[in-house]
Chains A and B, each alone.
Chain A
Amino acid sequence: MSEKKIYHILEMCLWILIPFMLFLAIFNHEIQPGRFLQWLGKLHPLALHFPVVFGILISIYFLFFQQQRIPVNTEKLLLAINAVIASIVAILGLLLAKQNTYDGQLINLHKWGGVAIAILSWLFLYMVQHKTNFIKIGAVLFLVVLIGATHKGAQLTHGVNALSFPKSSTPETIVIDSTSTIYQVAIAPVFEQKCVSCHGPDKTKGDLQLNTPENILKGGKDGNILTGSADKKAILLERIHLPLAHDDHMPPEGKMQLTSEEVSLLNKWIKAGADFEMKLNDLPKDDSLYLFVSAAIPGPGQTVTSNKNLPGLDEFNTNYCTTNYLFSGSDNVEVNFFQGSFYNRESLEKLEKIKENIVHLDMQGMPLKKEDLDIILQFSNLEKLNLNYTGLDIHSLEGLKSLPNLKNLSISGIECDEASLDKFLDQSRFTSLNIWTKGLDEDKLKKLGLKYPNVNLVVGDNLENEIIKINDPVIEQDSAVIADHLNVKIKHFLNGVDIRFTTDGSDPDSLKSNKYSHPIRLSENTVLKVKAFKTGWISSDIVQRTFYKSKIQPDTVFLLTNPDKKYSGIGAKTLVDLELGGNNNSNGKWLGYKDSNMEFVIEFKRKQPLTAAHLNALVNTGAYIFPIRSITVQGSNDGKLFQPITEIRFPAAEKTATTGANSYNCNFPESTSYTYYKFIVTNLKKLPDWHPGKGKPAWIFVDELFLD
C-alpha cells in the first residue's frame, strides 16, 4: 500500500475521531459510558506514552532540525500517525475520566490539555503545507501544552507532588519493638494524624510545629507547651481539656478530635516527663503508660499486614474444619477441627497449600495417625498446636520439636509416662506444655517442671483415686397416683453404677435389695426407696417417693368452707383429680386455707365401708405453710346428722422442717361404713415464736384425698 493511501485512511480516521473526541469532551458530564467503553478507558495510561514521546520528538524536530528535511509525505504520514494516536489517547482519557473521581480542577486541565494536544497534532498536518515559521510557534505551543497536560496527568495518578522535588518524609512506617521510644510508637502518630495539618511545616498556626521533637520542644507563641507547673497544666493538655465549645479548645471544633485513649496517653506521657528518649521497656510492666502503649501497638507474633487483600479461605473450610485469618488484614491463619467422628485427612492435606500461613492449629479429639502428623510438621510457622485426645502416643510427637516457632503445645489425654515426657521435653523449644492424662504421677511431674524451668508445664488435677459420693438416682415418674398401675423408671447417668431399690420401706443395700434393671411396676400404695452404688465411690443418698393407689373414688365431693380465692385450684374436684400439686403452692393444683378450717364432705351413692383416708398436704414454713394441725372425720347416712368417726392430731413443724408434700393418714375403726363422710381439717392458728410471722395463722395446702 502506498504511503499516500495509508495517509488518506489515517486522515479519514482523524475526521471521525476528532469530532467524536470533541463531543465526549464537551458533554463529558452528560454521558455515562457502558461497561465496554469503561474498559477501553483503562487503556489510556497504556497508550499515552507513545504520543508524549513522539510529540516531543516532533516539536524538537520542527524547532531545530527542519533544515535537513525528510520528504513531505513521510513527514505528513508520521504526523498523521501521531495525530491519530493522540486523539485516540484523548478519547480513552475522556472515557477513563468518567470512572474514577479525580480532583475536579486537575481533571479539567488534563482533559482539555489532552484534547488540545490531539487537535494541535492534527493541525500540524495542514501547517506543514506552507512552511512558515509559525510552525515553530506551533511547535513551542505544542511542547508547552504537552508537558503541561502530561504533568497534570501524572499528578492525577501519582499525587500532586508527582514531579515536584521530594520533601523530607515524615516517619511513615516504624519497626515497632520494645526498644523503640514511646514518642515514636505512640505520641508522634497522634500529632501526625490530629495536629500537624495545622501545626506543621506547611501550615504553622500559632508558630507551633508538632512534627519533630525539636519543634515540639521549641513550643509556640505561648512558649513551652509540655511543662506545666503545680498550679497549671501544661498548655498542650490544658488546650485539649478545655470544653469542645471553648474557642481555645484543641483540636478546634469541627476538626477530628482526640479519642479518650489518646488524651490519657498524652496525659500519662507528659506526666511521665515528656521524655522523647523514654523506651517502652524502661517502664515497669504494670505501669499504666506501658499498658496503654503496649495495648496500642501490636504484640509479639502478630504481623500486621493491613490493607493487603488476601485470598479467601473458603476452599479449606468444610463442615468439620474451619479456617480463619487471625484478624482482618493479618495473613496468619488459625485452623480448628471439630467432631472427631467426621475427621477425614483430605481437609488436612488441603491445608498444605497454606502451610506457611498456619499459626494456630486445634485438632483436639481428632483420631490422628502418624501420617496426619507428617502433614502437620510442614506447617513451619505453627505457634500453637492442640493435640489433646488425638490418640497419638508421645514418641510419635518427637518431630514437633523441629518446628521452630511452636511454643504452645497441648497434649492432654495422650498416653505417656514421666520417662517419655522427660525425653520429649529434652531440648524442646516449648514455653508452655499442657499435659494431663491418666496415671501421671503429680510429684514426678513437679520434678520435671523444675528440670525444665522455661517450660510452663500445666498439669491438671488427677482425681481418679479420689473417693467422692455418687449423686442421687432419679425416679422418672411425674404422677404419684396409681390409677390402675404405674411403670416407674429409675435413671442414673454414671457409667456402670449399680442401682438398688426396696418397696417395703426398708433402706436399700448393695447386697440383698433388688437390683434395678427395667421399669418397676407398681399397683399398690408403695414407698419406693432407691440408692446407687459403685466401687471406688461413696454410695448415694436414699431417694424416696410415695405412690398412692386410689382404690375408692367418691361420687361427689363438696367444700363446706371456701379456700382462699388465689388458691382455689379447680374447686372441690381438686381433691380427687388424681393429680398431685408438687411443691409450688400457687400452680392451681392446691387448695389453700388460712383464715378458716378446711371442711368438706364426700358422698357415695350407697354405703361405702372405709378403713383409712390419706390427705396429701404441703409444708413450706418459709411460705407460712405448716403441717395440718388435726383431722376430724364424721360419718352420716342422710347427709344431715353426722357421728364422729375419728380425730387425729399431727405434730407442728420444727424449724428445720423440709419443704415438700406429706401424707396425713387417719385410720378408721373396724366396720366404718357410711354414705357421707365429713372432714374437718384445721390449721395452726398461731405461728411459733421462731417464725418471722409469729402469732399469725398458718396456711394449710391440700391437693388430694385417698381412700382405702
Chain B
Amino acid sequence: MKEFIEHGLNQNRRKFLSKMGLGLGGLALGSLMIPGMFDVKNEDELFSNALPAFAPKAKRVIYLFQNGAPSQLDLFDYKPMLQKMQGEELPASVRMGQRLTGMTSNQAKFPLAGTVFQFAQYGNTGAWFSEILPHIASISDDLCIVRSMYTEAINHDPALTFFQTGAQVGNRPSMGSWISYGLGSENKNLPAFCVLLSKGKGNGQGVYSKLWSNGFLDSIHQGVQFTSGEEPVKYLTDPEFINRTDKRAMLDEISALNDEAYKNIGDPEIVTKIQQYELAYRMQMAVPEITSLQNEPESIIKMYGSDCLLPGTYAANCLLARKLSENGVRFVQLYHQGWDSHGNLPNEIAGQCKDVDQASAALIKDLKQRGLLDETLVIWGGEFGRTNYCQGKLTKENYGRDHHPRCFTIMMAGGGVKPGVFGETDEFGYNITKLPVHVHDFHATVLHLMGINHEKFTYKYQGRRFRLTDVAGNVVHDIIS
C-alpha cells in the first residue's frame, strides 16, 4: 500500500522537479544576460542559509512552558528564613520600592510567607526540591537549574509575550518561528515548529496564538498546533467518505490539471502549488503514524502515567512532544496553564505538580534512554516568579503569592547544558545575588546552543533589522557544558 502510494509520489515529484528544472534553467539563463538579476538582496537570508554557524550542541528544543508562573519558593528555591519570619513584614531594605501589580499595590502589609512544603536535597548536585516534585527530584543529576532568572514585565500577557518573542508588545516572531526560519525542519513532512496546549486545575491565564505567531516572517514558520487523539492537526483528517486511494486519485487529477494550467500560463507559482499539495498529502500520512500511541510499549505508558493516553493532558503532550521531536521537529512548544496562584496556593500548586511532575521527568528519562537527550534541549519554566510575601489572607496552611519578576527559577536538561545549580537569590528570595540571567540572555544562550550567533541572526522588516534578542543579551557560558 505505502509502496504504491510512495511510487505515485515519486513519479509526481520527478515530474515537477523536471518542471522546476526547466523553470530554473530558464531563469538561470536570464541571470547570465542581466548581471546580478538574482542576487539575494537580503543578506539576512544569506546568513540564515549558512546556519548553524558553528558546532551546535542541541539540534532540537522541547520547551515545557509552565503558563501562569509557578512559585519558585514552593518548588526549587528553598528559603528557611521565610518560615522563620513567617507573617513578619517584608523589610523595605529588601524591597527597595519595587513596583507592584495593581492587585497588591493597595495592600497595607506585605507579610512574608514561608512554604508549607518539605524540602530536601537530591543527587550529586545537591539541588533542593520540594516534596511535591518527587519524580523531577529523582533525576536532579540531569538537570541544569537556574535560580537567577529575571524579567521586565509584571503582568502575564506582556511577560509571556516577552518570553516567547523577545518583546513585551508588538507582533514579533516567536522563538520557535525564529528557529524554524534559521534551521528549518529536519523532517520534510512535518512543520519545524509545533505547539501543544494543556490545562491544569489551577487558576488559568489563557494562551494566545500570537505566542506562536510567525510575526513578520513567512507564515510557513508559524507554530502548528498539535493535539493527540483523532485530529492531531486541524483540517488534516479527510472526511470519512474519502479514503487514501480516493485521495491519491483526486490529487493526481488536481496535479494534472494544474500542470496543464502551467503549460498555458507559465507561472512558476503553479508548480509550487502542486508541490504544496503533495507535501500536504505526505503530512497526512506522516502525522497519524507519528502521533499514534498504538506501538508505545506499556512500560512507556506507565513511565508517563496513564493520563498520557488521554488526549489534551500534559502527560499526553509530553509523550507527543517526544514523538515529534525524535521525528525531526526542531522546536516543540508546550503550554500548561494553571500556575497563577494568587490565593489558595498550597492546594493549587500541589494539584499542578501532580499533573506535570511525573510526565516532565518521564520525558527527560525517555529521551535519555534513547540517546536523544544530549542533542535535545528540554526547558521547564514560567514567565516570572512569585512574591515571598502573601497576597490576601495569610494563615498557617494557606496563602497566595503575587507576580514577582525580580527572580525566579527555570530548569533545563540535555542539549549541551551543564547539570547543576546556578545563580543565587538573597535569603528572602526577593533579589538576585549571583549570576543574574535576563530573558534576552536566556534567548541568546538557547540560540548559541543551536549553533546560532544571536547578534548576527537578524531579519530586515520595515527598514529595521530585528533580532530575537532585540539589542541586548549575552550568552551564559557558565551553564554550557
A–B interface present (Cβ within 8 A): yes
Binding site for B on A (CB under 8 A): 35, 260-261, 288, 291-292, 295, 298-299, 302, 317, 319-320, 322, 324, 326-328, 330, 336, 338-339, 341-342, 364, 386, 388, 408-410, 412, 432, 434, 436, 438, 458-464, 466, 468-472, 474, 492-495, 536-537, 692
Which residues of A are found within 8 Å of B293, using beta-carbon distances? 493
Residue from B33, B286, B301, B365 in contact with A494 in the complex, judged by beta carbons closer than 8 Å: B301
Which residues of A are found within 8 Å of B365, using beta-carbon distances? 460-461
A-B pairs, top 7 by smallest CB distance, nearest first, are: A460-B369, A410-B371, A434-B371, A493-B309, A471-B306, A436-B369, A328-B50
Task: Considering the complex, give the chain A residue whose CB is closest to the CB of B302.
Answer: A463
A438 with B370: CB separation less than 8 A: no
Residue from B307, B371, B478 in contact with A458 in the complex, judged by beta carbons closer than 8 Å: B371
Instruction: State whether A341 and B2 are in contact (beta carbons under 8 Å apart), knowing that A327-B54, A336-B328, A692-B393 are contacts in the complex.
Output: yes
Which residues of A are found within 8 Å of B477, using beta-carbon distances? 288, 291-292, 295
Which residues of B are found within 8 Å of A463, using beta-carbon distances? 298-299, 302-303
Instruction: State whether A364 and B326 are in contact (beta carbons under 8 Å apart), knowing that A342-B6, A434-B371 are contacts in the complex.
Output: yes
A408 with B371: CB separation less than 8 A: yes
B52 with A328: CB separation less than 8 A: yes
Instruction: State whether A471 and B371 are in contact (beta carbons under 8 Å apart), knowing that A327-B451, A460-B365, A463-B299 are contacts in the complex.
Output: no
Residue from B282, B289, B393 in contact with A341 in the complex, judged by beta carbons closer than 8 Å: B289
Residue from A324, A328, A338, A410 in contact with B187 in the complex, judged by beta carbons closer than 8 Å: A338
Q: CB of B23 within 8 A of chain A?
A: no
Task: Considering the complex, give the chain B residue whose CB is closest to the CB of A540.
Answer: B306
Q: CB of B53 within 8 A of chain A?
A: yes
Task: Considering the complex, give the chain A residue whose CB is closest to the CB of B326.
Answer: A364
A458 with B50: CB separation less than 8 A: no
Q: CB of B32 within 8 A of chain A?
A: yes
How far does the alpha carbon of A292 sit from the alpha carbon of B475 in the complex, in Å? 11
Q: CB of B327 within 8 A of chain A?
A: yes
Chain B residues bordering chain A, tally (CB within 8 A): 53
Which residues of A are found within 8 Å of B480, using beta-carbon distances? 291, 295
Which residues of A are found within 8 Å of B393, using beta-carbon distances? 692
Q: CB of B26 within 8 A of chain A?
A: no
Q: CB of B93 within 8 A of chain A?
A: no
Which residues of B are found within 8 Å of A495, using beta-carbon distances? 294
Task: Considering the complex, give the chain A residue whose CB is closest to the CB of B6.
Answer: A342
Candidate in A291, A339, A468 with the most chain B CB atoms within 10 angstroms: A339
A468 with B305: CB separation less than 8 A: yes
A35 with B371: CB separation less than 8 A: no
A471 with B299: CB separation less than 8 A: no
Q: CB of B366 within 8 A of chain A?
A: yes
A460 with B368: CB separation less than 8 A: yes
Which residues of B are found within 8 Å of A412, using beta-carbon distances? 369-371
Chain B 429-481 interface residues, beta-carbon cutoff 8 Å to A: 451, 474-475, 477-478, 480
A322 with B328: CB separation less than 8 A: yes
Task: Considering the complex, give the chain B residue whose CB is closest to the CB of A259.
Answer: B455
How far does the alpha carbon of A338 sit from the alpha carbon of B188 in the complex, in Å? 9
A461 with B299: CB separation less than 8 A: yes
Task: Considering the complex, give the chain B residue whose CB is closest to the CB of A465.
Answer: B299
Task: Considering the complex, give the chain A residue whose CB is closest to the CB of B452.
Answer: A327
Q: CB of B100 within 8 A of chain A?
A: no
* Interchain residue pairs with CB less than 8 A apart (7): A328-B51, A339-B289, A341-B2, A388-B370, A434-B368, A468-B305, A692-B393
A327 with B368: CB separation less than 8 A: no
Which residues of B are found within 8 Å of A470, using beta-carbon distances? 306
Instruction: State whether A338 and B328 are in contact (beta carbons under 8 Å apart), knowing that A319-B188, A322-B186, A434-B369 are contacts in the complex.
Output: yes
Q: CB of B55 within 8 A of chain A?
A: yes
Given contacts A328-B53, A339-B189, A458-B371, 7 further A-B contacts (CB under 8 A): A338-B328, A341-B2, A341-B289, A388-B370, A409-B371, A464-B298, A493-B293
Which residues of A are found within 8 Å of B187, using beta-carbon distances? 322, 336, 338-339
Which residues of A are found within 8 Å of B257, using beta-carbon distances? none
Residue from A299, A434, A471 in contact with B370 in the complex, judged by beta carbons closer than 8 Å: A434
A319 with B282: CB separation less than 8 A: yes
